[in-house]
Amino acid sequence: MAPQISIARLREFGITPDRELGQNFLVDDNVLELIGGLLPLAATDVVLEVGPGLGVLTGWLAGRVRLVHAIEIDRRLEPALAETLAGVGNVRLRFADALDVDPRTLDPPPGVLCANLPYSVATPVVMECLPACERFCVMVQREIADRIAAQPSTKAYGIPSVLIQLACEVKLVRPISRNVFRPVPNVDSGLLRMRRTGPSVSDDITQLVKNAFAHRRKALPRSLEEAGGPAGVREAAREALEDIGLAPDARAETLSPDQFVQLARELERMA
């Protein structure tokens, strides 16, 4: 779909992109072929797409898989989507906030997340899909892509890096120019490919990671204490860090995802 056609369709349906919803519509078919090369799709696959927009990616996916669950928050897009997907029988379009929809409740459940994710909800949507999906190919704001794929001891490394990498193998494939979207956003995007390699992270480890990064400039034990950890957590964390071969005053950003799991187990053992 050429950019001018996309803009014309928006005008035709009286749609003004809503920046609060992070609406930047994909208009470059070349990106679709790039996704196809990264995410081999089978005719038996069930795919979840969040934020179908004008349906460019939706229709492309529908021609290659068994079923596409498309979740869109903006009801104004219904006429445009109906026109784009006319005659396409394997798309189930649902108008809802994706964060209110548990992917595991969809029937049949999706095994793949493929989407141009709205910037404002990209990270929570990926986290929400971890228990359900095995494969992921998502376009997100470049800053978010960098955070998800970041390695320890880097500025971008943080909570999303740890929690997502504990469940998935993550690869930042390439940057995506802002010019493939309309309206053109103020930032570039990144294309992420992910593959589930383990179960989603437990609530206990999730909370530990969040508390550890709550005061990322401070030593991890102190951050756990100041984030409201139980009495004695600072001393316990110092001892636990030493037990797994790390400095007792290590910062959260220096621990690998696997070391957070080791730390959680050691703290549980000491409790």
pLDDT in tens, 116-170: 998 889 999 999 999 999 999 999 999 999 999 999 999 999 999 999 999 999 9
Domain check: are 112 and 33 in the same one? yes
Domain check: are 36 and 166 in the same one? yes
User: How confident is the model at residue 7, as a pLDDT?
Assistant: 58
Domain end point (choices 166, 196, 226): 196
Domain check: are 209 and 179 in the same one? no
Is pLDDT at 4 greater than 60 in this prediction?
Answer: no
Domain check: are 84 and 149 in the same one? yes
Domain end point (choices 170, 196, 222): 196
Is 0.85 topped by the overall pTM? yes
Domain check: are 180 and 212 in the same one? no
- When mean pLDDT is compared across 231-235, 244-248, 253-257, the lowest value belongs to 231-235
Which residues span the domain enclosing 56? Answer: 3-196
The model's confidence at residue 19, banded by pLDDT at 50, 70 and 90, is low
Is pLDDT at 5 greater than 50 in this prediction?
Answer: no
According to DSSP, the β-strands at 181-182 and 135-141 are: unpaired
Q: Where are the beta strands (DSSP E) in 20-167?
A: 25-26, 46-50, 67-72, 91-95, 112-116, 135-141
User: What CATH number should be reported for the domain holding residue 239?
Assistant: 1.10.8.100
Give me the number of domains the chain comprises: 2
- To the nearest 10°, the Cα dihedral for 153, 156, 158, 161? -100
Domain check: are 169 and 237 in the same one? no
Domain check: are 191 and 210 in the same one? no
Domain end point (choices 196, 217, 239): 196
Domain check: are 171 and 266 in the same one? no
User: How confident is the model at residue 8, as a pLDDT?
Assistant: 62
Domain check: are 192 and 75 in the same one? yes
Domain check: are 16 and 107 in the same one? yes
Domain check: are 162 and 207 in the same one? no
pLDDT in tens, 76-110: 999 989 988 999 999 999 999 999 999 999 999 99
HEC string of 25-67?
Answer: EECCHHHHHHHHHHCCCCCCCEEEEECCCCCHHHHHHHCCCCE
